[in-house]
């Protein structure tokens, strides 16, 4: 008996059979059938409504805007990312997110470019603007529906739209935040100079100065927090790590986080890391990590050239990253200890109790936010040549404020 493709069949597929759409082959076959039957794209706004409803469900399961864009690129298709951004933008307009959402949510909307004006018939507008064929449009939409409907439940770090209150009154800003911004601008300035110099020694000196400044800023914040009855502010941040070698890259992020008193909890299958720490520390960790990702790409390329241009194995690449991460962690820990000792000597105070209290506040927040967290360590053999080549490259690394990843 032939299948009748009508509105009822389509609604049932999108609502109750979305699990099967995570299979790229199934999604492609259905998309071809829908295009062949000339089923209109976004009939009556059905696809837009379905995807917006699926987004709402995803928010309730702990996801944030940048998380969804990361997952779309990783698990659906790169072509779905512009559609995801347009949908997030439409959702933001319908919920008045700019005035009601937490600041970190609004920051993500800006980062994604989701606050630009858009059309309410999101799917139809996206398909028309991209000049996509009906089959391509259906394929991307079906895979996206499957991804959103089956997204795993993760820890809720930022209140979802259902918990937002009334619109916020006008704010003149936070003086402490302005201080953090000034410090980060100085750090970025030092790193920009390290990037532009042709001399390795000068780059090393500038990088060390930047790490010292980050440590000094953390010490100042800890002393300021110690004088407050409410304690210091502990925040959260999500960092997304793309394939390949996600586990090895997470080791690099963990090394940077640990050196700056930031705790890391990550979802292995999703490539999503949760950072918990002081606000300025979170900014510094993200800046360092994204810069070091670029550095390790360049270092690996250099290692390949030195090896006669032969392409190294995946085992070598993974070991290179792990060795690099281990040595970077040692360097950052050493710089932090040195700068902390100098700061304590200059101020004539014992910083250990203050810093211990700050770490305890972070650990307490981790226990509250992630009650089911467990510690894991990498297992398995590591290519010795790659490990030591990575450590050697880390000796020459400096921090550059760019974003990149391994190809």
Model confidence at 406: pLDDT above 50: no
Model confidence at 92: pLDDT above 90: yes
Evaluate whether 241 touches 271 at the Cβ level (below 8 Å): yes
Find which of 143-147, 357-361, 387-391 is predicted with most confidence, using mean pLDDT.
143-147
Structure confidence by residue, pLDDT tens digits, 248-300: 999 999 999 998 899 999 998 899 999 999 887 898 888 888 777 866 776 77
Confidence of residue 58 (pLDDT cuts 50, 70, 90): very high
Model confidence at 333: pLDDT above 50: yes
What is the Cα–Cα distance from 76 to 148, expressed in whole angstroms?
Answer: 10
Supply the pLDDT for residue 176: 47
Q: pTM surpassing 0.85? A: no
Backbone angles phi, psi at 208, to 5 degrees: -60, -40
Give the pair of three-digit tokens for residue 215.
């440590």
Judged on CB neighbours under 10 Å (0-12, 13-18, 19+), 205 is middle
Strands (E), 228-332: 234-240, 263-267, 272-278
Q: What is the dihedral of CA 247, 251, 256, 262, to 10 degrees?
A: 80
List, as one string, the DSSP characters of 158-196: S--GGG--SPPPP----HHHHHHHHHHHHHHHHHHHHHH
Unique residue bearing structure tokens 């450590």: 391
- Selection from 130, 133, 359, 36 nearest residue 226 by Cα: 359
Structure confidence by residue, pLDDT tens digits, 113-129: 999 999 999 999 999 99
Taken as a whole, the chain contains a residue count of 407
Average pLDDT over residues 299-327: 78
Supply the pLDDT for residue 173: 46
Alpha helices in 348-383, H assignment, sequence order: 352-369
The bridge status of strand 234-240 relative to strand 272-278 is antiparallel
Cα first-last separation, the chain: 48
3-class secondary structure, 396: coil
Supply the pLDDT for residue 51: 96
Instruction: Tell me the sheet residues that pair with 278.
Output: 234
Structure confidence by residue, pLDDT tens digits, 7-54: 788 888 888 788 889 898 999 999 999 999 898 888 889 899 999 999
Model confidence at 64: pLDDT above 80: yes
Find which of 160-164, 207-211, 246-250, 395-399 is predicted with most confidence, using mean pLDDT.
160-164
Find which of 12-26, 61-75, 320-334, 393-407 is predicted with most confidence, using mean pLDDT.
61-75
Model confidence at 227: pLDDT above 70: no
What is the Cα–Cα distance from 406 to 177, expressed in whole angstroms?
Answer: 33
Give the pair of three-digit tokens for residue 136.
């391509």
Backbone angles phi, psi at 326, to 5 degrees: -65, -45
What is the Cα–Cα distance from 127 to 138, expressed in whole angstroms?
Answer: 10
Supply the pLDDT for residue 180: 59
Confidence of residue 204 (pLDDT cuts 50, 70, 90): low
Confidence of residue 151 (pLDDT cuts 50, 70, 90): very high
Weakest-pLDDT range from 54-68, 240-254, 384-398: 384-398
C-alpha 360, offset from chain centre: 25
What is the Cα–Cα distance from 145 to 94, expressed in whole angstroms?
Answer: 20
Residue 101 DSSP label: S
């Amino acid at each position: 008996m032939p299948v009748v493709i009508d509105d009822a069949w389509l609604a049932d597929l999108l609502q109750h059979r979305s699990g099967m759409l995570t299979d790229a082959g199934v999604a492609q076959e259905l998309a071809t059938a829908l295009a062949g039957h000339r089923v209109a794209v976004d009939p009556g706004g059905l696809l837009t409504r379905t995807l917006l409803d699926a987004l709402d469900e995803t928010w309730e399961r702990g996801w944030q805007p940048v998380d969804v864009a990361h997952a779309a690129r990783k698990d659906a298709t790169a072509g779905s990312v512009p559609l995801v951004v347009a949908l997030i933008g439409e959702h933001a307009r319908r919920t008045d997110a700019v005035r009601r959402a937490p600041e970190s949510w609004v920051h993500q909307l800006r980062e994604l470019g989701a606050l630009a004006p858009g059309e309410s018939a999101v799917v139809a507008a996206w398909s028309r603007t991209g000049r996509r064929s009906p089959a391509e449009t259906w394929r991307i939409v079906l895979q996206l529906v499957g991804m959103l409907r089956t997204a795993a439940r993760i820890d809720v770090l930022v209140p979802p739209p259902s918990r937002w209150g009334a619109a916020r009154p006008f704010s003149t800003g936070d003086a402490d935040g302005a201080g953090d911004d000034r410090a980060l601008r100085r750090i970025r300035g030092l790193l920009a100079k390290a990037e532009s110099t042709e001399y390795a020694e000068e780059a090393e000196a500038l990088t060390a100065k930047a790490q010292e400044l980050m440590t000094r800023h953390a010490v100042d914040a800890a002393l300021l927090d110690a004088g407050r009855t409410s304690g210091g502010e502990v925040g959260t941040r999500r960092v997304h790590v793309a394939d390949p070698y996600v586990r090895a890259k997470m080791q690099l992020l963990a090394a940077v986080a640990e050196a700056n008193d930031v705790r890391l909890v990550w979802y292995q299958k999703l490539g999503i890391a949760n950072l918990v720490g002081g606000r300025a520390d979170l900014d510094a960790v993200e800046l360092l990590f994204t810069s070091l990702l670029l550095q390790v790409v360049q270092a690996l390329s250099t290692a390949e050239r030195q090896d006669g241009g032969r392409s190294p194995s995946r085992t070598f690449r993974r070991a290179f990253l792990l060795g690099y991460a281990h040595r970077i962690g040692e360097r950052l820990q050493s710089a932090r200890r040195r700068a902390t000792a100098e700061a304590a000597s200059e101020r004539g105070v014992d910083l250990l109790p203050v810093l211990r209290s700050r770490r305890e506040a972070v650990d307490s927040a981790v226990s509250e936010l992630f009650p089911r967290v467990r510690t894991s360590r990498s297992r398995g053999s590591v290519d010795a040549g790659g490990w030591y080549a990575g450590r050697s490259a880390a000796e020459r690394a400096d921090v550059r404020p760019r974003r990149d990843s391994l190809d």
